[in-house]
Amino acid sequence: MRSLKQVPVKNFYYMLMYAFRYPLDQFQEVIQTKEPTSPIDLWAMLFNREVGRLIRQGLVKEYQPVKEETGTIRGKIQFPESIQHQSFYRAKMVCEWDEMDANVTANRVLKSTLERILNDNSVGKEIQLESSRLLTYLLDIPSIELTNRTFQSLNVKGRYKAYHLAFYLSEMIAADAFIEKGQSQNRLDTIDESKNLGNLFEDFVREFYRLHLPGFSIGSETFTWGNHPMLPKMITDISMKSANRYIIMDTKYYVSALSQQFDVEKLRSAHLYQLNAYLQHAKLMAGAEMTIEGVLLYPKVDKGFDETFELLGHKVRVCTLDLTASWRRIEERLMTVVSGCI
Protein backbone atom coordinates (compact mmCIF):
# COMPACT_ATOMS: atom_id res chain seq x y z
CA MET A 1 0.00 0.00 0.00
CA ARG A 2 1.96 2.98 -1.27
CA SER A 3 -0.14 5.38 0.78
CA LEU A 4 1.28 4.46 4.20
CA LYS A 5 4.79 5.72 3.51
CA GLN A 6 5.35 7.54 6.76
CA VAL A 7 4.49 4.95 9.39
CA PRO A 8 7.38 4.93 11.90
CA VAL A 9 9.07 1.60 12.50
CA LYS A 10 8.43 1.95 16.24
CA ASN A 11 4.70 2.09 15.64
CA PHE A 12 4.78 -1.22 13.83
CA TYR A 13 6.70 -2.64 16.77
CA TYR A 14 3.93 -1.57 19.16
CA MET A 15 1.24 -2.90 16.82
CA LEU A 16 2.98 -6.28 16.74
CA MET A 17 3.23 -6.41 20.52
CA TYR A 18 -0.48 -5.69 20.91
CA ALA A 19 -1.58 -8.03 18.10
CA PHE A 20 0.34 -11.02 19.49
CA ARG A 21 -0.46 -10.23 23.14
CA TYR A 22 3.11 -9.59 24.18
CA PRO A 23 3.87 -7.12 26.99
CA LEU A 24 4.84 -3.83 25.36
CA ASP A 25 8.27 -4.03 26.98
CA GLN A 26 8.88 -7.65 25.88
CA PHE A 27 11.43 -6.57 23.27
CA GLN A 28 11.75 -2.96 24.38
CA GLU A 29 15.54 -3.22 24.51
CA VAL A 30 15.51 -4.06 20.79
CA ILE A 31 14.42 -0.56 19.84
CA GLN A 32 16.00 1.28 22.79
CA THR A 33 19.58 -0.02 22.60
CA LYS A 34 19.74 -0.04 18.81
CA GLU A 35 16.70 1.37 17.05
CA PRO A 36 16.02 -0.43 13.76
CA THR A 37 16.75 1.80 10.78
CA SER A 38 14.28 0.06 8.48
CA PRO A 39 11.24 -2.20 8.71
CA ILE A 40 13.20 -5.20 7.42
CA ASP A 41 15.67 -4.66 10.30
CA LEU A 42 12.78 -4.62 12.77
CA TRP A 43 11.26 -7.82 11.38
CA ALA A 44 14.68 -9.52 11.31
CA MET A 45 15.66 -8.43 14.85
CA LEU A 46 12.39 -9.65 16.32
CA PHE A 47 12.55 -12.83 14.25
CA ASN A 48 16.01 -13.61 15.63
CA ARG A 49 14.68 -13.12 19.15
CA GLU A 50 11.77 -15.45 18.48
CA VAL A 51 13.95 -18.16 16.94
CA GLY A 52 16.34 -17.94 19.90
CA ARG A 53 13.40 -18.37 22.29
CA LEU A 54 12.08 -21.37 20.35
CA ILE A 55 15.52 -23.01 20.35
CA ARG A 56 15.87 -22.49 24.11
CA GLN A 57 12.46 -23.97 24.88
CA GLY A 58 12.98 -26.80 22.38
CA LEU A 59 11.96 -26.94 18.73
CA VAL A 60 8.82 -28.91 17.95
CA LYS A 61 9.50 -32.47 16.81
CA GLU A 62 7.19 -34.93 15.08
CA TYR A 63 7.40 -38.66 14.44
CA GLN A 64 8.98 -39.26 11.04
CA PRO A 65 9.24 -42.66 9.26
CA VAL A 66 12.79 -44.06 9.09
CA LYS A 67 13.84 -47.01 6.96
CA GLU A 68 17.37 -48.40 6.92
CA GLU A 69 19.46 -51.53 7.01
CA THR A 70 20.45 -52.22 10.60
CA GLY A 71 22.04 -54.91 12.74
CA THR A 72 19.55 -54.15 15.53
CA ILE A 73 15.92 -55.13 14.96
CA ARG A 74 13.69 -52.05 15.27
CA GLY A 75 10.07 -51.51 14.36
CA LYS A 76 8.87 -53.54 11.38
CA ILE A 77 11.19 -55.84 9.47
CA GLN A 78 10.90 -55.30 5.71
CA PHE A 79 11.47 -58.89 4.52
CA PRO A 80 11.14 -58.27 0.74
CA GLU A 81 13.73 -55.48 0.81
CA SER A 82 15.99 -57.42 3.17
CA ILE A 83 15.98 -60.36 0.73
CA GLN A 84 16.44 -58.06 -2.27
CA HIS A 85 19.51 -56.44 -0.69
CA GLN A 86 20.71 -59.78 0.79
CA SER A 87 21.01 -58.05 4.15
CA PHE A 88 21.22 -61.37 6.05
CA TYR A 89 24.68 -61.99 4.58
CA ARG A 90 25.80 -58.93 6.56
CA ALA A 91 23.89 -59.99 9.68
CA LYS A 92 21.44 -57.12 9.12
CA MET A 93 17.82 -56.55 8.15
CA VAL A 94 15.96 -53.64 6.57
CA CYS A 95 13.70 -52.20 9.26
CA GLU A 96 11.19 -49.34 9.34
CA TRP A 97 10.22 -47.36 12.45
CA ASP A 98 9.08 -43.91 13.57
CA GLU A 99 11.53 -41.50 15.15
CA MET A 100 11.10 -38.03 16.66
CA ASP A 101 12.70 -35.48 14.35
CA ALA A 102 12.82 -31.68 14.15
CA ASN A 103 12.61 -31.88 10.35
CA VAL A 104 9.10 -30.43 10.14
CA THR A 105 7.74 -27.64 7.96
CA ALA A 106 7.68 -25.12 10.82
CA ASN A 107 11.38 -25.50 11.56
CA ARG A 108 12.26 -25.54 7.87
CA VAL A 109 10.54 -22.15 7.59
CA LEU A 110 12.66 -20.84 10.47
CA LYS A 111 15.85 -21.98 8.76
CA SER A 112 14.90 -20.62 5.34
CA THR A 113 13.98 -17.25 6.84
CA LEU A 114 17.35 -17.00 8.59
CA GLU A 115 18.98 -17.75 5.25
CA ARG A 116 16.85 -15.07 3.60
CA ILE A 117 18.06 -12.55 6.19
CA LEU A 118 21.69 -13.50 5.50
CA ASN A 119 21.18 -13.01 1.77
CA ASP A 120 19.51 -9.61 2.09
CA ASN A 121 22.12 -6.85 1.82
CA SER A 122 19.68 -4.30 3.24
CA VAL A 123 19.71 -6.03 6.65
CA GLY A 124 22.18 -4.72 9.24
CA LYS A 125 25.41 -6.69 9.70
CA GLU A 126 24.91 -7.24 13.44
CA ILE A 127 21.49 -8.73 12.76
CA GLN A 128 22.97 -11.01 10.10
CA LEU A 129 25.66 -12.19 12.51
CA GLU A 130 22.99 -13.22 15.00
CA SER A 131 21.04 -15.00 12.23
CA SER A 132 24.22 -16.85 11.25
CA ARG A 133 24.74 -17.96 14.86
CA LEU A 134 21.17 -19.25 15.13
CA LEU A 135 21.55 -21.20 11.89
CA THR A 136 24.17 -23.41 13.56
CA TYR A 137 21.34 -24.94 15.64
CA LEU A 138 19.39 -25.85 12.49
CA LEU A 139 22.12 -27.42 10.34
CA ASP A 140 20.38 -30.82 10.16
CA ILE A 141 17.08 -29.29 9.03
CA PRO A 142 16.61 -28.80 5.27
CA SER A 143 15.46 -25.51 3.79
CA ILE A 144 12.07 -24.90 2.17
CA GLU A 145 10.85 -22.44 -0.44
CA LEU A 146 9.00 -19.58 1.24
CA THR A 147 5.82 -19.31 -0.80
CA ASN A 148 2.20 -18.40 -0.07
CA ARG A 149 1.35 -22.09 -0.14
CA THR A 150 4.03 -22.79 2.46
CA PHE A 151 2.71 -20.14 4.83
CA GLN A 152 -0.91 -21.22 4.30
CA SER A 153 0.02 -24.76 5.34
CA LEU A 154 1.46 -23.67 8.69
CA ASN A 155 -0.36 -24.58 11.89
CA VAL A 156 -0.45 -22.17 14.84
CA LYS A 157 -2.44 -24.36 17.21
CA GLY A 158 -1.33 -26.66 19.98
CA ARG A 159 2.44 -26.94 20.25
CA TYR A 160 2.86 -24.63 17.26
CA LYS A 161 1.14 -21.71 18.98
CA ALA A 162 4.55 -20.60 20.23
CA TYR A 163 5.62 -20.18 16.58
CA HIS A 164 2.84 -17.72 15.69
CA LEU A 165 4.82 -14.48 15.82
CA ALA A 166 7.83 -16.11 14.15
CA PHE A 167 5.63 -17.25 11.26
CA TYR A 168 4.18 -13.77 10.84
CA LEU A 169 7.62 -12.15 10.83
CA SER A 170 8.89 -14.79 8.42
CA GLU A 171 6.14 -13.94 5.97
CA MET A 172 6.90 -10.24 6.24
CA ILE A 173 10.60 -10.89 5.62
CA ALA A 174 9.86 -13.21 2.71
CA ALA A 175 7.58 -10.64 1.09
CA ASP A 176 10.48 -8.18 1.10
CA ALA A 177 8.29 -5.43 -0.29
CA PHE A 178 8.51 -2.74 2.32
CA ILE A 179 11.42 -0.51 1.45
CA GLU A 180 11.29 2.00 -1.37
CA LYS A 181 14.66 3.44 -2.34
CA GLY A 182 14.95 7.12 -1.69
CA GLN A 183 12.54 7.16 1.24
CA SER A 184 13.60 7.94 4.80
CA GLN A 185 15.38 4.90 6.21
CA ASN A 186 13.39 4.74 9.44
CA ARG A 187 10.01 4.76 7.74
CA LEU A 188 7.86 2.01 6.31
CA ASP A 189 6.83 2.20 2.69
CA THR A 190 4.31 -0.50 1.95
CA ILE A 191 4.58 -0.87 -1.80
CA ASP A 192 1.21 -2.53 -2.30
CA GLU A 193 -1.71 -3.56 -0.16
CA SER A 194 -0.83 -6.47 2.09
CA LYS A 195 -3.24 -8.90 3.64
CA ASN A 196 -0.73 -9.44 6.42
CA LEU A 197 -0.69 -5.77 7.33
CA GLY A 198 -4.48 -5.68 7.19
CA ASN A 199 -4.66 -8.58 9.63
CA LEU A 200 -2.08 -6.87 11.83
CA PHE A 201 -4.15 -3.67 11.89
CA GLU A 202 -7.29 -5.60 12.86
CA ASP A 203 -5.59 -7.69 15.54
CA PHE A 204 -3.79 -4.68 17.00
CA VAL A 205 -7.02 -2.67 17.37
CA ARG A 206 -8.88 -5.62 18.91
CA GLU A 207 -6.14 -6.35 21.46
CA PHE A 208 -5.75 -2.65 22.28
CA TYR A 209 -9.38 -2.43 23.30
CA ARG A 210 -9.17 -5.74 25.15
CA LEU A 211 -6.52 -4.18 27.40
CA HIS A 212 -7.90 -0.65 27.69
CA LEU A 213 -11.67 -1.06 27.93
CA PRO A 214 -12.41 -2.61 31.33
CA GLY A 215 -16.01 -3.64 31.72
CA PHE A 216 -16.27 -4.74 28.07
CA SER A 217 -16.04 -8.26 26.69
CA ILE A 218 -14.14 -7.99 23.43
CA GLY A 219 -13.54 -10.42 20.58
CA SER A 220 -14.79 -11.53 17.19
CA GLU A 221 -18.36 -12.73 16.80
CA THR A 222 -20.06 -15.04 14.32
CA PHE A 223 -23.53 -14.33 12.93
CA THR A 224 -25.51 -16.72 10.74
CA TRP A 225 -28.29 -16.02 8.25
CA GLY A 226 -29.98 -19.33 9.00
CA ASN A 227 -29.46 -23.08 9.05
CA HIS A 228 -29.18 -23.70 5.31
CA PRO A 229 -25.72 -25.12 4.48
CA MET A 230 -25.21 -22.71 1.56
CA LEU A 231 -25.75 -19.60 3.66
CA PRO A 232 -22.44 -17.92 4.59
CA LYS A 233 -21.38 -16.98 8.08
CA MET A 234 -20.54 -13.43 9.02
CA ILE A 235 -17.61 -12.83 11.38
CA THR A 236 -17.12 -9.42 12.92
CA ASP A 237 -13.66 -7.94 13.24
CA ILE A 238 -14.32 -6.61 16.74
CA SER A 239 -17.40 -6.88 18.97
CA MET A 240 -17.40 -4.96 22.25
CA LYS A 241 -20.11 -5.54 24.87
CA SER A 242 -20.73 -3.96 28.25
CA ALA A 243 -23.81 -3.92 30.46
CA ASN A 244 -25.58 -1.43 28.19
CA ARG A 245 -23.41 -0.90 25.10
CA TYR A 246 -22.84 -3.14 22.10
CA ILE A 247 -20.24 -1.79 19.66
CA ILE A 248 -19.37 -3.54 16.42
CA MET A 249 -16.22 -2.28 14.74
CA ASP A 250 -14.96 -3.19 11.29
CA THR A 251 -11.35 -2.32 10.47
CA LYS A 252 -10.53 -1.71 6.82
CA TYR A 253 -6.95 -1.58 5.57
CA TYR A 254 -7.58 0.15 2.24
CA VAL A 255 -5.59 2.38 -0.08
CA SER A 256 -8.67 4.57 -0.53
CA ALA A 257 -11.23 4.61 2.22
CA LEU A 258 -13.55 6.77 0.12
CA SER A 259 -14.89 6.18 -3.37
CA GLN A 260 -15.46 8.76 -6.09
CA GLN A 261 -18.91 9.33 -7.56
CA PHE A 262 -19.10 12.12 -10.11
CA ASP A 263 -16.01 13.71 -8.53
CA VAL A 264 -17.68 13.67 -5.11
CA GLU A 265 -16.16 11.59 -2.29
CA LYS A 266 -18.51 9.03 -0.80
CA LEU A 267 -18.24 6.33 1.84
CA ARG A 268 -17.89 2.84 0.38
CA SER A 269 -21.34 1.30 0.12
CA ALA A 270 -20.07 -2.29 0.44
CA HIS A 271 -18.50 -1.46 3.80
CA LEU A 272 -21.71 0.18 5.01
CA TYR A 273 -23.81 -2.78 3.83
CA GLN A 274 -21.55 -5.16 5.75
CA LEU A 275 -21.61 -3.11 8.93
CA ASN A 276 -25.39 -2.70 8.69
CA ALA A 277 -25.81 -6.48 8.37
CA TYR A 278 -23.80 -6.92 11.57
CA LEU A 279 -25.87 -4.28 13.37
CA GLN A 280 -29.19 -5.82 12.32
CA HIS A 281 -28.10 -9.24 13.55
CA ALA A 282 -26.82 -7.73 16.79
CA LYS A 283 -30.23 -6.11 17.30
CA LEU A 284 -31.87 -9.53 17.26
CA MET A 285 -29.48 -10.81 19.93
CA ALA A 286 -29.22 -7.80 22.25
CA GLY A 287 -31.59 -6.92 25.05
CA ALA A 288 -33.81 -3.85 24.94
CA GLU A 289 -31.48 -2.01 27.32
CA MET A 290 -28.50 -2.33 24.96
CA THR A 291 -27.41 0.57 22.76
CA ILE A 292 -26.09 -0.86 19.49
CA GLU A 293 -23.44 1.17 17.71
CA GLY A 294 -21.18 0.67 14.72
CA VAL A 295 -17.70 1.88 13.75
CA LEU A 296 -15.76 1.69 10.49
CA LEU A 297 -12.09 2.38 11.16
CA TYR A 298 -9.49 3.01 8.43
CA PRO A 299 -5.81 3.92 8.64
CA LYS A 300 -5.34 7.51 7.56
CA VAL A 301 -4.11 7.78 3.99
CA ASP A 302 -3.80 11.17 2.28
CA LYS A 303 -6.24 12.87 4.62
CA GLY A 304 -8.27 11.96 7.65
CA PHE A 305 -12.01 12.14 8.15
CA ASP A 306 -14.46 11.57 10.97
CA GLU A 307 -18.17 11.25 10.27
CA THR A 308 -21.00 10.31 12.65
CA PHE A 309 -24.55 9.58 11.49
CA GLU A 310 -27.54 7.31 12.01
CA LEU A 311 -27.84 4.20 9.85
CA LEU A 312 -31.26 2.51 9.94
CA GLY A 313 -31.74 3.32 13.59
CA HIS A 314 -28.16 2.78 14.77
CA LYS A 315 -25.46 5.33 15.48
CA VAL A 316 -22.43 4.82 13.26
CA ARG A 317 -19.02 6.45 13.19
CA VAL A 318 -16.72 6.23 10.15
CA CYS A 319 -13.25 7.58 10.81
CA THR A 320 -9.51 7.21 10.31
CA LEU A 321 -6.55 6.46 12.56
CA ASP A 322 -3.26 8.23 11.80
CA LEU A 323 -0.57 5.56 12.16
CA THR A 324 2.15 8.14 11.52
CA ALA A 325 1.35 10.01 14.75
CA SER A 326 3.15 9.54 18.06
CA TRP A 327 2.10 6.41 19.90
CA ARG A 328 0.49 8.45 22.67
CA ARG A 329 -1.69 10.20 20.06
CA ILE A 330 -2.64 6.85 18.52
CA GLU A 331 -3.75 5.50 21.91
CA GLU A 332 -5.72 8.67 22.66
CA ARG A 333 -7.39 8.53 19.26
CA LEU A 334 -8.47 4.91 19.69
CA MET A 335 -10.04 5.70 23.04
CA THR A 336 -11.84 8.70 21.54
CA VAL A 337 -13.24 6.57 18.72
CA VAL A 338 -15.35 4.51 21.14
CA SER A 339 -16.03 7.09 23.81
CA GLY A 340 -16.09 10.59 22.37
CA CYS A 341 -18.71 10.55 19.67
CA ILE A 342 -21.05 7.63 20.24
pLDDT at 21: 87
Give, for all 342 residues of the chain, the pLDDT tens digit. Answer: 444 557 888 888 889 889 988 876 666 665 666 667 778 888 999 999 999 999 999 999 988 888 888 888 777 888 888 888 888 888 888 888 778 889 999 999 999 999 999 998 889 899 999 999 999 999 999 999 988 889 889 988 888 999 999 999 998 888 864 433 334 444 333 333 456 788 889 999 999 999 999 989 999 999 888 888 888 889 999 999 998 899 999 999 876 777 677 667 788 888 999 999 999 988 888 877 789 999 999 998 677 889 999 988 899 999 999 998 999 999 999 999 998 544
pLDDT at 184: 40
pLDDT at 86: 87
| Helix locations, the chain, DSSP H | 9-19, 28-33, 39-57, 79-84, 105-118, 125-135, 148-152, 164-175, 195-212, 269-285, 327-339
pLDDT at 205: 96
Name residue 63's beta-bridge partners: 100
pLDDT at 138: 95
Q: Measuring CA to CA, how many Å separate 275 from each of 295, 316, 337?
A: 8, 9, 16
Q: pTM higher than 0.85, yes or no?
A: no
Helix count and strand count (H, E) for the chain: 11, 15
If one counts every other C-beta atom within 10 angstroms of the C-beta of residue 49, the result is 19
For residues 66 and 95, give the distance between their C-alpha atoms in angstroms, rounded to a whole number.
8
If one counts every other C-beta atom within 10 angstroms of the C-beta of residue 231, the result is 10
Instruction: Please report, in angstroms and rounded to a whole number, the separation of the first and last CA atoms in the chain.
Output: 30
121 Cβ neighbours under 8 A, 6+ residues apart: none
Provide the 8-state DSSP code for 290.
P
pLDDT at 166: 94
pLDDT at 284: 85
Angle at 24 between CA 22 and CA 30, to 5 degrees: 100
